[in-house]
């Protein structure tokens, strides 16, 4: 008996979610059993407990009638005030309203228990217009918003979208997604060919070259208008045409 009494303080110190009193684990003579983190215990009516097995019987149930007192597959397998996380009952606290629970938790009033907020489901979409995050596009295979990149090698036969000045096309899985992203907010520098304005091209002088088109160009010797590819011409002005790689 002395050996059994020494176990009682240990039992009282166990976390609340490891103890499942009453329910199918108690009997008419006052004896009871529970599943602890280190195994299965049998206790008499005076709360003298002894370890009888390092594993819990598969049919051991807790107060809620769920799986053995410490493991779980859903919140209802756990005692009130606890919730199921990664197959183990964890303490969340008792509550009557959401205000009784900590940050990231809500009150399941049917169990008077604080439980973690549900994980948001991916945003559904039918087109790129339904996605608003940076570099996001609508993945047609899953109908959910996914994130692409301003950089990447194009491997599919698909033309780039026409992006406003200062924006670059978004790329995912080797294809253009049909969306554009402000170059200043890109996750990675776009290819020179995907830069469509002069300032951003000039800012990449280490690997890109701004290419210009002459306007009102004439041959100074003859005064005639220059033709495409003619050299030695004088132009009234120049206009940014595209950004090329060095």
Stretch among 110-119, 173-182, 190-199, 207-216 having the lowest mean pLDDT: 110-119
So where are the chain's domains? 1-71, 72-119, 128-190, 208-245
Q: Would the pLDDT of 178 be above 70?
A: yes
Among 116-120, 155-159, 220-224, 240-244, where is mean pLDDT lowest? Answer: 116-120
Distance CA 191, CA 216 (A): 31
Assess whether pLDDT exceeds 50 at residue 14: no
pLDDT at residue 28 in the model: 62
Nearest to 172 by CA among 140, 201, 127, 132: 140
Q: What is the pLDDT of residue 54?
A: 65
Count of other CB atoms within 10 angstroms of residue 231: 6
The C-alpha atoms of residue 98 and residue 92 are separated, in whole angstroms, by 12
Global model pTM greater than 0.85: no
What sign results for the dihedral spanned by CA atoms 60, 61, 67, 70?
negative
3-7, 110-114, 194-198: which has the minimum mean pLDDT?
3-7
pLDDT-above-70 percentage for the chain: 76
Burial 145-181 (b: 16+ CB within 10 A, else e): bbebbbebebeeeeebeebeeebbbbbbeeebbebbb
Radius of gyration of the chain (CA): 35
- Please check the confidence at residue 205 and state whether its pLDDT lies above 60: yes
Q: What pLDDT digit, counting tens, does each position of 66-102 carry?
A: 334 457 888 888 877 888 888 888 888 889 999 899 8
- Paired strand residues for 235: 217
- End-to-end alpha carbon distance in the chain: 88
Instruction: Tell me the C-alpha distance between 98 and 133, whole Å.
Output: 30
HSE, CB side, 13 Å, CA atoms: give it for residue 22.
3
pLDDT reported for residue 38: 64
């Amino acid at each position: 008996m002395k050996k059994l009494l020494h176990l009682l303080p240990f039992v009282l110190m166990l976390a609340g979610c490891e103890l499942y009193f009453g329910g199918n684990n108690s009997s008419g003579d006052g004896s009871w059993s529970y599943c602890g983190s280190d195994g299965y215990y049998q206790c008499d009516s005076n709360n003298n407990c002894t370890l009888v097995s390092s594993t819990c019987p598969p049919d051991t149930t807790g107060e809620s009638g769920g799986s053995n007192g410490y493991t779980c597959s859903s919140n209802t397998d756990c005692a009130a005030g606890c919730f199921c996380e990664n197959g183990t009952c964890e303490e969340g606290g008792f509550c009557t309203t959401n205000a009784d629970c900590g940050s990231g938790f809500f009150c399941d009033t049917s169990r008077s228990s604080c439980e973690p907020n549900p994980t948001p489901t991916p945003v559904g979409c039918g087109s790129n217009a339904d996605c608003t995050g940076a570099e996001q596009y609508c993945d047609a295979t899953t109908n959910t918003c996914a994130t692409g990149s301003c950089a990447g090698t194009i491997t599919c036969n698909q033309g780039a979208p026409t992006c406003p000045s200062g924006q670059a096309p978004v790329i995912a899985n080797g294809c253009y997604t049909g969306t554009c992203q402000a170059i200043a907010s890109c996750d990675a520098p776009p290819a020179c060919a995907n830069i469509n304005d002069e300032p951003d091209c000039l800012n990449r002088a280490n690997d890109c070259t701004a290419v210009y088109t002459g306007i009102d160009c004439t041959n100074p010797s003859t005064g005639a208008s220059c033709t495409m590819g003619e050299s030695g011409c004088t132009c009234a002005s120049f206009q940014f045409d595209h950004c090329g790689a060095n």
